[in-house]
Structure 1
């Protein structure tokens, strides 16, 4: 009722049914995850009650969070093993219900689907029930993850097929099949008719933390009095953002490129182990530093506990936070880190087995910190 009465009319959902999904009986539904509305609109398109496996952080989002129980959400701890959530998925499947899972594990930033997590193949193999494939093809246009505002673009949801895998099919083959069917190539998706949008560049400078042409850090800015354009104050390149998430070159050395290409150029430029200052990294082992607020999130509580405001440093084996109040530094060793996550609302979290810390940078973008943390954590794990 909530989806049909409020969200669905605003989103302008279009369902293409290549196959009819069963209205009764156990069903594991897998879908890509390009926009915030698919957690509600994909179940709505099913024409039956469909439970959702979703991150527990959704429950913390104002307004949106209180609706999740009405969508029969099964909360899980993102980035960590959560046997309780998986047991609840199996319980609901065994009683004949449908459960929706997003096997990418995270929303796409550029429209290109993320790699499929191998756990989906093991889950389907263990459950042994039909698998329904769904692809949301225009979600990255309707509300890109980096964008501050949504666009008026129809949300196209495709029901692709229902497959029941035999005992001879491996979990790896199922995972590969899932990726082949639900993944989206943003270069191949056309803008639907009757699509419009404004303020298309808002949010892009935070996501694109370096110019995709000259790679100057924190150099992209909104063009004054033009909400659809960004420019670089380093090389004077200027781009206009369109509904298909292309950057159209309009000035200086800028040339046309999709946001997916632009972001990959930035990532490749900074290399496998990115650092801001090579001399500083050689001398002190500090890859990136900056002012930030630090909070600790306690399970079962809505409001996080403020730990202070101070200097955060990323070293080769830990994150160090030094509060301006002069208290002893707090260090988070990579030995204990289970996951580094960007949760709903672009909130950067570092999860250990016992604690969940939330880092809010005031210097350098959150996305930049996430990328540096990911690469240095991967390097630490490869060494140990």
Structure 2
């Protein structure tokens, strides 16, 4: 049965099921208190407004929506989430009972925007993560003006839910969550009047600056850094950090248990329970933590490509979907080489098929699973690429992020007004 919620004179919206939502929230509250000792710092101005709110937050872990719902208890919230999450085999039906709003990648999502507007009109808050993808290294992922334009149109108060410790509690490259400590701050970013009166550029600046946080800076400000429990705290870190700063080789770093090391030289770093590097005997630590290494890596990638370096890997392409009206490709699986250079990203197939030029520069954030796969658009055809080199996905996310940020002058939003 289709669960719809109606108000006189207004189109219906997909309603969340209160019993399912409330029961799950109670369970999650107990679980997160046990695993992460979560503390909440709530802006009293939020209590003076009955809502509904348009809610934004930093996107660093799978459980970000849970943290948001716990931080704003009492507010009915619908979450905007990607289609692939909504279609998860076991949890997809549960998510739909919670009233999620689906967004489909590589498409113009008029229906999603309409559902957001209707939800707000029906008195239901809506939460959206402007970064769209969980952060790979733990810092802000650039994003365009779409969220700022939506805020301008809605003319509703905007709340931020910023979590500290969530990334270290479950880094995107890690297989499992890591119990520790988490702090969550909720703030009123904009009143309804400010959302209506400020320009899109001014709203964007406020969004960017409010979301520009990271767990490592939070750790360094604490009197005693929080510790996160994991026996394999560096396992798969090389999915995000692949470029060796000692021998200056891309795709050279490897990881195991508590160690990040180079497969080509002497570099060996240990990761402690607070998320920081400590040097192995005879190997000084060139960076304090993985985010510093990832930032250097992004700059080094940009510099190397400008200097003419070409980086390639063996790769398998699987046809994922056709988002247009044209025909599907004849071959649904192709093998060959992915090649990244200053000219962009190309796939050279084995055999006589024509090369494919992937235009990934138009997005700051590729849909991917670091170390495993990345979705690549070829016009209306979407391929899922499985590079052989485990660091190649991070290489591509670094590349498109740098090019997009430069083309869209994203860095100027980070400067203080």
TM over 0.5: yes
Q: Does 1:241 align with 2:271?
A: yes
Q: Would you say the 8 A contact 1:55–1:78 is kept in 2?
A: yes
Figure out how many residues of one structure are paired with residues of the other and give that number.
365
C-alpha separation between the residues in 2 aligned to 1:195 and 1:339?
33
Q: Would you say the 8 A contact 1:79–1:339 is kept in 2?
A: no
One of 242, 252, 259 as aligned partner of 1:219: 252
Q: Does 1:345 align with 2:380?
A: no
SS at match of 1:189: helix
Give the RMSD, CA atoms, in angstroms.
3.4
Q: Would you say the 8 A contact 2:46–2:187 is kept in 1?
A: no
1:294 aligns with: 317
Change in CA separation of 1:376 and 1:33 when aligned onto 2, cut-off 3 Å: closer
Change in CA separation of 1:321 and 1:241 when aligned onto 2, cut-off 3 Å: same
Change in CA separation of 1:8 and 1:345 when aligned onto 2, cut-off 3 Å: farther
Deviates more, 1:130-139 or 1:347-356: 347-356
1:331 aligns with: 356
2:347 aligns with: 320
1:114 aligns with: 141
Q: Would you say the 8 A contact 2:61–2:166 is kept in 1?
A: yes
1:353 CA drift (Å): 5.1
C-alpha separation between the residues in 2 aligned to 1:379 and 1:58?
27
Change in CA separation of 1:80 and 1:214 when aligned onto 2, cut-off 3 Å: farther
1:168 aligns with: 197
Change in CA separation of 1:201 and 1:380 when aligned onto 2, cut-off 3 Å: closer
Q: State the TM-score, normalized to the length of structure 2.
A: 0.76
2:238 aligns with: 205
Structure 2 residues without counterparts, runs of 5 or longer: 1-22, 324-330, 409-417
1:142 aligns with: 169
1:144 CA drift (Å): 1.2
1:291 CA drift (Å): 1.5
Deviates more, 1:109-118 or 1:239-248: 109-118
C-alpha separation between the residues in 2 aligned to 1:67 and 1:329?
43
1:16-55 → structure 2 map (5 Å cutoff) = 16-19=41-44, 21=46, 24-47=50-73, 48-55=75-82
Q: Would you say the 8 A contact 1:320–1:329 is kept in 2?
A: no
Q: State the TM-score, normalized to the length of structure 1.
A: 0.81
Moved over 4 A (4+): 191-195, 336-341, 375-382
Q: Would you say the 8 A contact 1:29–1:100 is kept in 2?
A: yes
1:284 aligns with: none
1:14 aligns with: 39
Change in CA separation of 1:168 and 1:319 when aligned onto 2, cut-off 3 Å: same
Change in CA separation of 1:185 and 1:249 when aligned onto 2, cut-off 3 Å: same
Q: Would you say the 8 A contact 2:242–2:391 is kept in 1?
A: yes
C-alpha separation between the residues in 2 aligned to 1:186 and 1:193?
10
C-alpha separation between the residues in 2 aligned to 1:306 and 1:252?
49
Change in CA separation of 1:345 and 1:289 when aligned onto 2, cut-off 3 Å: closer
Q: Would you say the 8 A contact 1:21–1:162 is kept in 2?
A: no
2:300 aligns with: 269
Deviates more, 1:363-372 or 1:154-163: 363-372
Q: Would you say the 8 A contact 1:231–1:238 is kept in 2?
A: yes
Change in CA separation of 1:38 and 1:80 when aligned onto 2, cut-off 3 Å: same
SS at match of 1:181: helix
